[in-house]
Structure 1
Amino acid sequence: MALSWAALSAGSRSAGLKLAGAIGAVVLILDQFTKWVALEHLLDPPRLIEVAPFLNFVLGFNTGVSFGLLGNDSPYGPWLLSGAALLVVAVLVVWAARSDSRAEAASFGAIAGGAVGNIVDRLRQGAVTDFIDLHAFGWHWPTFNVADIGITGGVGLLLLSGLWPRKASGDDAPAGRDGAPR
């Protein structure tokens, strides 16, 4: 089956929720598996693994949100950030259930899966495990993980999906000369 822009932008609501759930589950499983591997191989002894001239694996722990924002040593921080993230996930699930766009549903699923992956870390260990370290041409990106890739990719897809034309449904399809939808 060929994938097209039209196929990505049209879908049923229940199918959208299933798609969001499937993508969210894949992001969550990949995130937790890769973090487990990173903890097993980068923690003891602490080390850096050079994968490519622009990519290292190095273990880091983030007590804040993206790129360490809002990080502090408060014992309530992980619980507050996790609670806020759970509210966002709940909203994403509602939006996925209401969306008739596969691209939007996939976006919501990727974002929710990444958010849940980071929530698991915060509640389990008080910080999010980061291990992917990109750098090139004197520029160094903050260390991140697969959950962050899901969140960022989901947001990017959501923004792009807003540019795709929507397939007209019977309710909003243009009317013919006799007034009936075409």
Structure 2
Amino acid sequence: MKISRLALAAYGFALAVIVLDQLTKAWIISGVSLHEVGQVPVLPPILNFSWVENTGVSFGLFGGGEARWGLTIFSLVVSAGLAWWALKADRRLLVTAIGLVMGGALGNVIDRVRFGYVVDFIDFSGTGVFPWVFNVADSAITIGVVLLIIDSLKSERAAPVGAAPEKS
């Protein structure tokens, strides 16, 4: 089976997210020593780096640690489904979204397998608006989901009733 350039772009986005996510986490784990100090002000009070061992999913939802392997398997299945979808995708925005979600999911899987939790450290809780601590992978997943919604709305609006969605 020949892999299209768009599918390769999705896989490239996923790889870039994984690399950036793992590099920032390695920096936080070893370079900044957040594990020992707990929190480092970056732009106080708006942005801090805070050490969080997230046993749940994005932004700490469904935490507790009991679901480590279930979440790992679920993320791998979702990533495999996204990789297959990328082979069929025919729009740039869609493959970008797929790549971001896939890369974010796999970035967090790596942590779950290695540590039993996901390393979260980006903390905007000082704003009083956004209480969660997150990481690059979580950000990629969130941006990817937003792009999926935009792509869906765009392709629905572009297609006449009863017609196939427009290719871009």
What amino acid is the match of 1:93? A
After superposition, residues 26-175 of structure 1 pair within 5 angstroms as: 26-40=16-30, 41-43=32-34, 45-53=36-44, 54-74=46-66, 77-165=67-155
Q: 1:62 to 1:172 in 2, by over 3 A?
A: closer
Greater helix proportion: 2
SS for the counterpart of 2:37 is coil
1:76-134 Cα offsets, whole Å, 9 max, x none, are x2211100110100111111111101110110000000000000000000000000000
Matched residues in 2 for 1:131 and 1:23: separation?
Answer: 22
1:65-85 Cα offsets, whole Å, 9 max, x none, are 1232322243xx221110011
Q: What residue ranges of structure 2 are gaps of 5+ in the alignment? A: none
Following TM superposition, by how much is the alpha carbon of 1:139 offset from its aligned partner in structure 2, in angstroms?
Answer: 2.5
Q: CA RMSD in A?
A: 2.3
Matched residues in 1 for 2:65 and 2:142: separation?
Answer: 26
- Find runs of 4+ consecutive structure 1 residues off by over 3 angstroms: 165-168
Q: 1:44 to 1:81 in 2, by over 3 A?
A: closer
Q: 1:102 to 1:65 in 2, by over 3 A?
A: same
Aligned residues: 157
Q: Does the Cα contact within 8 Å between 1:24 and 1:114 map onto a contact in 2?
A: yes
Following TM superposition, by how much is the alpha carbon of 1:42 offset from its aligned partner in structure 2, in angstroms?
Answer: 2.9
Q: 1:110 to 1:135 in 2, by over 3 A?
A: same
SS for the counterpart of 1:148 is helix
Q: Does the Cα contact within 8 Å between 1:121 and 1:129 map onto a contact in 2?
A: yes
Q: 1:18 to 1:37 in 2, by over 3 A?
A: same
Q: 1:80 to 1:139 in 2, by over 3 A?
A: same
What amino acid is the match of 1:156? V
From the CA coordinates, give the structure whose radius of gyration is larger: 1
Q: What residue ranges of structure 1 are gaps of 5+ in the alignment? A: 1-12, 174-182
Identity percentage of aligned residues? 39
